[in-house]
Structure 1
C-alpha cells in the first residue's frame, strides 16, 4: 500500500433490506462499520477488532463472506488520496452498542446514499444492483 491509499476493511450487514451504517463522532457523513488495518493484520483480524471497538459485538467467523473491493477518493483528505475498502458480509453475536469513536448507528436504504462517503456510495450502488437493499 502506498501512502496515497488508505487500506480499510468494512462490515456489510443487511437486515430487512437495509444496511448497517455508522456515524463517527466529529464526522457528518455515514460510514460502513470497520476501519484501517493495523500492521500485519489480516482482513478478518481487522474486521473483528474494528467491529468490537465500534459496535461492541463479536463477528462470527464462520459467517464471514467477501463481498467486494471498492476504491474512491478518501472523504476529508486531499485530492488524490484514495481509500480502498475490502467489504465482508458477516453476522455477529451481542447487542449493537455505539462505542469508541462512534456517535450512533442506523439502518440505511439506497435513498440515504447522498449521506455517505464516496466509497460507501459505490458499495450502496452494488448492493442495490444485486437487490440486497431497497
Structure 2
C-alpha cells in the first residue's frame, strides 16, 4: 500500500476524452476520484492498475500502453486529508466502461468540477489543466 516511507498510495488511471476526465464515486462517498486503487502485496503499478480497473469498471487496461502521467501527494498538515500519494498513468483499454457494485456512479469532469474531487485528485486536475488536456 505504501512505499518505504509509510505514506499510503493509490495507482490511478487518467482517461481523458473531449477535454474531460473520467472519475468515479464509491457508494457512501460524496467526492469523486480517478479510478484505481491500492497496490496489493508484491504488485507492480502495472498489475495494480490492470486489476483495479477490471474490478471497478469491468474494462481491460492494455498494460503495454501505460504511460506515466505524474505522482501527486498531499503531505502532513493538509487541513482536509492525511498524507496520501497517487501515482497516475494514462492507458488504452478494451471493453465498455461498466461500473461494478463498488462504484455508485461514473462521470466525465471538466476542470470546473475540480471542487467535487478529493484534494489529491485536485492536484492531478491542475496538472491536466496546465497541460491543456482538461477544459
Task: Tell me, yes or no, whether TM beats 0.5.
Answer: yes
Q: 2:56 aligns to what SS in structure 1?
A: helix
Q: How many pairs are equivalent?
A: 131
Structure 1 runs of 4+ aligned residues shifted over 6 Å read: none
Quote the Cα distance in structure 2 between the aligned partners of 1:2 and 1:28.
31
**Structure 1 residue 80, shift from structure 2 partner:** 7.2
Q: CA RMSD in A?
A: 1.9
Q: Contact (CA 8 Å) 2:80, 2:119: kept in 1 or not?
A: no
Q: Contact (CA 8 Å) 1:73, 1:118: kept in 2 or not?
A: no
Question: What TM-score do you get using the length of structure 2 for normalisation?
Answer: 0.90
Q: Report what 2:86 is aligned to.
A: 85
Q: Report what 2:117 is aligned to.
A: 116
The 5-angstrom pairing of residues 101-112 of structure 1 reads 101-112=102-113
Q: Any gaps of 5 or more consecutive residues in structure 2? A: none
Q: Report what 1:64 is aligned to.
A: 66
Question: What TM-score do you get using the length of structure 1 for normalisation?
Answer: 0.91
Q: 2:8 aligns to what SS in structure 1?
A: strand
Quote the Cα distance in structure 1 between the aligned partners of 2:129 and 2:96.
26
**Structure 1 residue 96, shift from structure 2 partner:** 0.6
Please give the per-residue CA displacement for 1:67-108, whole angstroms capped at 9, x wherever unaligned: 00100169xxx9773111110001100001110311111110
Which of 22, 38, 41 is residue 40 of structure 2 equivalent to? Answer: 38
Q: 1:54 aligns to what SS in structure 2?
A: helix
